[in-house]
Homo-oligomer: A and B are copies of this chain.
């Protein structure tokens, strides 16, 4: 008999809804509790997803003995404290990306999880999607020869709202750590940690990054270049260019339904990479497996990767003079 994994959700925002939708109907997976800052919001959310236990505080949620693992979906600036609260209660944790606002915060949380031997993972959901597995396979099979250059763009036009999470430095706003992290993660996946980073970023008057272009030079000279913004619609595609051809990841490159193989002197080949449900469930399946196998960390999305990607984002923000008020 497969052990059922009992989930709690911390916060009831937009991403929490998507996550709950993704989790629905998974085998041996139960959504047993939700915690919000208000009883009312907890009730609305719980009713929508048939969740038995609903709490008007995060503290009550983390104390619920029926919960095995908690998914954290609060704004970036709260992740660290929310994770620590969960870990202190002995709960396993899946935390939305970015894991924390910088590497230093992440280190303290990871240190605690490792000390307490509790499962912890960043919800970098795109790492588990079918297209990424296909791209990794194609690259390791040498289909495009040696991959040399990654080009990507990621961004959305957000309605300006000085108090909203995208524009507010107190909520660790800006484009880079919210969506630029997808291009950074893709680059890391293909080429590893950059050896050198050069970038330009334009900060708003409030001090968050509105737009930027970022370049990496990797150890064997491979190159990454991408842009990121919260002011404009972007192509949101990615191209991995190699000696024998390239892989084009259709928009949105972090959860597309198609990729194209463009081999030199051959017609383009469209490859369907269907993603059932909304894609958020793949990371849940990984967490369930890890918890059942009593792993403290995912091998697919290890905590050292989280630390490295955060150190890259730290370096880029450092080049831009972007420091959040709580740093």
Taking a contact as CB atoms closer than 8 A, the residue among B211, B223, B245 that contacts A221 in the complex is B211
Answer whether residue A242 sits at the interface, using C-beta atoms and an 8 A cutoff.
yes
> CB-CB contacts of A217-239 with B at 8 A, as 1s and 0s?
10001011111010111110001
Residue contact B245 to A233, C-beta cutoff 8 Å: yes
Answer whether residue A77 sits at the interface, using C-beta atoms and an 8 A cutoff.
no
With A198-B198, A212-B223, A227-B225 known as contacts, the answer to whether A241 contacts B246 (CB < 8 A) is no
Answer whether residue A188 sits at the interface, using C-beta atoms and an 8 A cutoff.
no
Taking a contact as CB atoms closer than 8 A, the residue among B196, B198, B217, B242 that contacts A215 in the complex is B198
With A148-B231, A200-B196, A200-B198 known as contacts, the answer to whether A223 contacts B243 (CB < 8 A) is no
Residue contact A233 to B264, C-beta cutoff 8 Å: yes
Query: Cα distance A157–B151 when bound, in Å?
Result: 17
Residue contact A243 to B215, C-beta cutoff 8 Å: no
Residue contact A264 to B157, C-beta cutoff 8 Å: yes
Answer whether residue A258 sits at the interface, using C-beta atoms and an 8 A cutoff.
no
Residue contact B223 to A200, C-beta cutoff 8 Å: yes
Query: Cα distance A153–B248 when bound, in Å?
Result: 14
Answer whether residue A149 sits at the interface, using C-beta atoms and an 8 A cutoff.
yes
8 Å CB contacts to B: which residues of A231-267?
Answer: 231-235, 239, 241-243, 245-246, 248, 262, 264
Residue contact B235 to A221, C-beta cutoff 8 Å: no
Give the residue among A227, A243, A248 with the most B Cβ atoms within 10 A. A227
Answer whether residue A168 sits at the interface, using C-beta atoms and an 8 A cutoff.
no
Answer whether residue A199 sits at the interface, using C-beta atoms and an 8 A cutoff.
yes
Answer whether residue A213 sits at the interface, using C-beta atoms and an 8 A cutoff.
yes
Q: List, in ascending order, chain B residues with CB within 8 A of A151's CB.
A: 151, 153, 227, 235
Answer whether residue A103 sits at the interface, using C-beta atoms and an 8 A cutoff.
no
Answer whether residue A41 sits at the interface, using C-beta atoms and an 8 A cutoff.
no
Q: List 23 A-B contacts (CB under 8 A).
A: A148-B211, A148-B231, A149-B211, A151-B151, A151-B153, A151-B235, A200-B215, A202-B221, A202-B223, A212-B223, A213-B215, A213-B217, A213-B224, A215-B215, A225-B227, A227-B241, A232-B241, A232-B242, A232-B246, A233-B241, A233-B246, A233-B264, A235-B239
Given contacts A151-B153, A151-B235, A202-B221, 18 further A-B contacts (CB under 8 A): A148-B232, A149-B229, A151-B151, A153-B239, A157-B243, A198-B199, A200-B217, A200-B223, A213-B215, A213-B217, A213-B223, A213-B225, A215-B225, A225-B225, A227-B241, A232-B243, A233-B245, A233-B264
